[in-house]
Amino acid sequence: MATQNPPVSQTKSFSTVFLIEMWERFGFYGMQVLMVTYMMKKLGFADTKANLVWGAAAALIYATPAIGGWVGDKLIGTRRTMLLGALVLMLGYAMLWIPSDNAYLLYCALGVIIVGNGFFKPNAGNLVRKIYEGDDTKIDSAFTIYYMAVNVGSMISMTLTPWIRDYVGAHYGDAMGWHTAFGVCAIGLLLGFGNYALMSRTLAHIGSPTDASRVNPVRLLGVLACGVAMVFVSAFILQSELVARICVYAAGVVILGIFVHLIRSSQRSERAGLIAALVLVAQTIFFFIFYQQMSTSLNLFAQKNVNLSFDFFGIHLFNWIPEQFQNLNAIWIVILSPVLVFAYNTLGRIGKDPSVAAKFAWGFAAVAAGFFVYGLGAHSAVNGQVTAWTMVWGYGLYSLGELLVSGLGLAMIARYVPARMGGFMMGAYYVASGISQYLGSVVANYAHIPEGLTDPVQSLGIYTSLFNKLGFVGVGCTVIAIAVLPLMKKLSNSHAEAVAEAKPLPAVHSEEWNVQA
């Protein structure tokens, strides 16, 4: 007698991707929160070198998903590529666990992380797109909640790893503290694998066509060999500022060329959506220049010019470790995500949900306000140090902007890009994000603190000068985003009409069930 498998709800499928993404981000942000200060304090890098090495690594971390999305779509399957990426990432964090201060080992470990992220990131996002394919209102909400998953994992690890570094370092030596903190990131990925093993059934029906067939061993070996080669190429790039700069700028030209080619060669019905995606990707590049300040200039600002004591009406509450201020971003994301999801769903039910382009404009306005908060905080600084609460409110506005821009970037790809290009275009989106993160590190170096300068009053002026300038750039981005709203409305309407025309007429057909003999 045949038995039928009950259909799996969207929520259960989404939860599986949500949870493995949460653990993957636990590992990534636990590493990121320490990386710039590790290079400065343990490897002796100047702040400018540490910023640029991390900027180049971030660019490559965001560039490799363009390849990983294609591997998932065409070669070994979306689900398989995501899991391979998680395994490679775990290996990269384990390499940072090795108690060595050799710079080349760091470059190789970052190379492994770069390759692992390339396999993982676009395919996890593409699975979410496939789960909610065709439902624009739910896509925005789903990707906002998905973005919250990133920040649940990072919120925990960005609090934990600096504390572990200090605690273990105080008891077993400074070097052991740093490397044990990195090792915790590898453990996070191991927990993610266990979680996926328990819930993998809910994704059995989601993926690319290659997920439905047995993996080709030759293809798999080819993917692994290319991955190993990319590790060493990445390590080589990270060692040279000149090579890194050339690669980043060349990638920008290539991505622009790919967009132009896809727009020119696409079907007429697809063109409006692709042009809309290109406009929003261009805006996203500017946003990630702001975003990169979190791990560079804002991180170093917290080291020198922030009072680490949280006080409330004269009552001391607790102290934070300087790196932990980056965690404010994740905390605000977790707080604000449900609020925005409720707003999107409520407005969507009455047909008043703002367009993605309008949300981008609001996002830039929030980011600009956030950077001005740091500048205003300097006016009440004591001995060159702003209060911890200045960081709280600055990060709050900054994080709201992030949710409205970066948090909807994937939803924008899901909405405007044809499904057949989904994995690749998500990868292209990440490449654009990576380019701008490198540019963000270049911008952060305008707040370079000369060697030997230890007076916080002087460094305060250097940092807040940069933050005020970024605030004014944010205002300019807001004005531009508002100016292109009529164009985006026209493109969005053309895209919606093309999608409506492409839909087949409803027909009566028998229900297809997944049956087992």
What does the pLDDT look like over 97-150, one tens digit per residue? 998 889 999 999 999 999 999 888 877 777 777 777 666 666 666 776 776 767
Q: How far is CA 186 from CA 20, 99, 189, in A?
A: 13, 15, 5
CB neighbours of residue 260 within 10 Å: 12
Q: How far is CA 242 from CA 44, 178, 236, 349, in A?
A: 20, 29, 11, 52
Q: In the predicted model, is pLDDT for residue 331 greater than 50? A: yes
Band (159; pLDDT cuts 50, 70, 90): very high
Quick one: tokens of 495? 């895209």
Quick one: tokens of 142? 């789903």
Give the mean pLDDT of 482-511: 67
What CA–CA distance (Å, rounded) separates 489 from 498?
14
The helix/strand/coil state of 255 is: helix
| pLDDT, tens only, 375-405 | 899 988 899 999 999 999 999 998 998 888 8
Q: Among residues 377, 202, 368, 184, which one has the least CA distance to residue 293? A: 368
Residue 420, exposed/middle/buried by CB under 10 A (0-12, 13-18, 19+)?
exposed
pLDDT at position 515 is 35
Quick one: tokens of 289? 């220049």
Q: In the predicted model, is pLDDT for residue 151 greater than 60? A: yes
**Residue positions counted in the chain:** 517
- What's the whole-number average pLDDT of the chain? 83
The helix/strand/coil state of 317 is: strand
pLDDT at position 502 is 63
Give the mean pLDDT of 463-490: 90
Task: Measure CA 266 to chain center.
Answer: 28
Radius of gyration of the chain (CA): 23
The 3-class secondary structure across 60-103, one letter per residue, is HHHHCHHHHHHHHHHHCCHHHHHHHHHHHHHHHHHHHHCCCCCH
| pLDDT, tens only, 191-246 | 888 888 887 777 777 766 776 778 778 888 988 999 999 999 999 999 988 998 89
Name all contacts of 386-394 with Cβ < 8 Å and 24+ positions apart.
386/305, 386/306, 386/307, 386/460, 387/306, 387/307, 387/311, 388/306, 388/307, 388/308, 388/309, 388/310, 388/311, 388/320, 388/325, 389/310, 390/306, 391/302, 391/306, 391/325, 391/328, 392/328, 394/370
What CA–CA distance (Å, rounded) separates 326 from 153?
13
User: Domains (ranges, CATH) in the chain?
Assistant: 11-202+216-498 (1.20.1250.20)
Please report which helix (H) or strand (E) contains residue 403, including its range.
helix 388-405
In DSSP terms, which residues pair with 319 in a beta bridge? 309
Q: How many CA atoms lie within 13 A of 80 on its CB side?
A: 22
| pLDDT, tens only, 46-87 | 999 999 999 999 888 888 877 887 788 778 888 888 889 999
pTM of the model: 0.82
In DSSP terms, which residues pair with 316 in a beta bridge? 311
For the chain, helix (H) and strand (E) counts, in that order, are 18, 4
Q: How far is CA 378 from CA 332, 383, 517, in A?
A: 22, 10, 72
pLDDT at position 517 is 32
How far does the chain reach from its first CA to its final CA, in angstroms? 7
Q: Which is it for the CA torsion 122, 128, 130, 133, positive or negative?
A: negative
The helix/strand/coil state of 484 is: coil
What CA–CA distance (Å, rounded) separates 440 from 52?
9
Q: In the predicted model, is pLDDT for residue 510 greater than 50? A: no
What CA–CA distance (Å, rounded) separates 169 from 173?
4
- 119, 68 Cβ separation under 8 angstroms: yes
Q: Where do runs of H (alpha helix) occur along 173-294?
A: 174-199, 217-239, 241-265, 268-291
Q: How far is CA 369 from CA 181, 362, 396, in A?
A: 34, 11, 10
At 440, which amino acid appears? G
Q: In the predicted model, is pLDDT for residue 187 greater than 70? A: yes
